Amino acid sequence: MTASNPMNILQQVRETALSQRDPNSRYCTLATLEQQAPLQVRTRTLVVRDVSSEACLLFVNRSAQKNLGDLPDASVEVLFFYPTLMAQFRLRGSLSLMSASALEPHWQHKPYEAKLLDHFYQDYQPQSATLESRDALEQGISELKKRYPDPDSVPFTENALGLLITADYLEVWQGMDSGIHDRRLFTRADAVWKAQALVP
């Protein structure tokens, strides 16, 4: 059965989650199966920067990504779960890396401290590096605040990386009080979405 674009459902539910301050409303879990040897599965919780009718945009830091050149060939799945709404979305699709010029306008909307953290990765220590102490991180951020005293003064840093996942698979799960949940699968081929009901 053909269907209208299910990404609109994800957009609407996410907006509701944001308005209701669902604790997961700004986050998702990205899983990748990376094809280099040995085959490796990686998961990470990331901030969702945007969800459009075609794709979702996630930010990561270039310094923390292993096998960066292999990422576009990785199999990916993104999990969105909004506990206050009892709604879950599993999205699969193709992954591409945004160019710096396309990413910068999105990056400029990051919170002040998140921009500073990208500069900490670049100027002090890369993401996931071992810290001598939490004080070392706080001191570095304090020094960056002196260098860039307000959000508009923080320049774009090219160690920011945008992951764009263009959807061709979206599974929607809606929890029901009865325990007989609603579960639907949407798949896209040749720009046409098809819908199937699933046993929950």
Here the CATH number for the domain that contains residue 78 is: 2.30.110.10
- pTM for the model stands at 0.85
Assess whether 141 and 67 both reside in one domain: no
CA-wise closest residue to 93 among 62, 61, 52: 52
Burial of 155 (0-12, 13-18, 19+ CB in 10 A): exposed
Please tell me the least confidently modeled range out of 1-5, 48-52, 126-130, 170-174.
1-5
| pLDDT value of residue 40 | 75
Segment 89-101, tens digit of pLDDT: 999 998 888 888 8
Looking at the structure, tell me whether residues 49 and 128 fall in a common domain.
no
For residue 9, pLDDT beyond 60: yes
Rounded Cα distance, 59 and 188, in Å: 25
Q: Are residues 147 and 186 in the same domain?
A: no
- Regarding whether 100 and 114 lie in a shared domain, the answer is no
Which residues, 6+ apart, have CB-to-CB distance to 49 below 8 Å? 57, 58, 59, 106, 109, 162
Residue 87 sits in the same domain as residue 138 = no
| Domain coverage including residue 28 | 2-108+158-197
Tens-digit pLDDT profile for residues 83-130: 999 999 999 998 888 888 888 988 888 899 999 999 998 889 888 888
The answer to whether residues 55 and 128 belong to one domain is no
In one-letter notation, the amino acid at residue 72 is P
Same-domain check for residues 141 and 97? no
> Residue 93 in contact with residue 169, Cβ under 8 Å?
yes
